[in-house]
Amino acid sequence: DAGVIQSPRHEVTEMGQEVTLRCKPISGHNSLFWYRQTMMRGLELLIYFNNNVPIDDSGMPEDRFSAKMPNASFSTLKIQPSEPRDSAVYFCASSHGLAENNEQFFGPGTRLTVL
């Protein structure tokens, strides 16, 4: 049974370039979360969706960040233009609904380096 799939696993880009991170949630899960992890700030929730609809994007740091979920099996997180301070590991997670007792299942992450 496949878990959450993220691609690419590693991304190195130059400042100013557009970066697109991809996520495929676990089949049957209808909630999807994007997190960012850095040494300085720990694990931060950026945005989450329920039934493909963004519920809370208050964690998105700037307008340079955008996320979409065009269907139940795919989501993207885009950074345009990218900056060195965006360097982090970005995780996607999914869960079966938003009920409080539902655990989230995390993907392996995308390690982004912006030079």
**Interacting residues with other proteins (CB under 8 A):** 4, 31, 33, 42-43, 45, 48, 50, 55-56, 91, 93, 97-101, 103-109
Supply the minimum distance, in Å, between the C-beta of residue 84 and other proteins: 21
Omega before 70 within 30 of 0, i.e. cis: no
Q: What is the 3-state secondary structure (H, E, C) of 59-91?
A: CCCCCCEEEEEEECCEEEEEECCCCHHHCEEEE
Looking at beta carbons only, is 1 or 103 nearer to other proteins? 103
Supply the minimum distance, in Å, between the C-beta of residue 16 and other proteins: 27
Supply the minimum distance, in Å, between the C-beta of residue 30 and other proteins: 12
Looking at beta carbons only, is 55 or 115 nearer to other proteins? 55
Residue whose C-alpha is closest to residue 7's, from 106, 86, 111, 104: 111
For residue 9 the two structure tokens come to 């696993």
For residue 40 the two structure tokens come to 């300085």
Looking at beta carbons only, is 63 or 103 nearer to other proteins? 103
Supply the minimum distance, in Å, between the C-beta of residue 104 and other proteins: 6
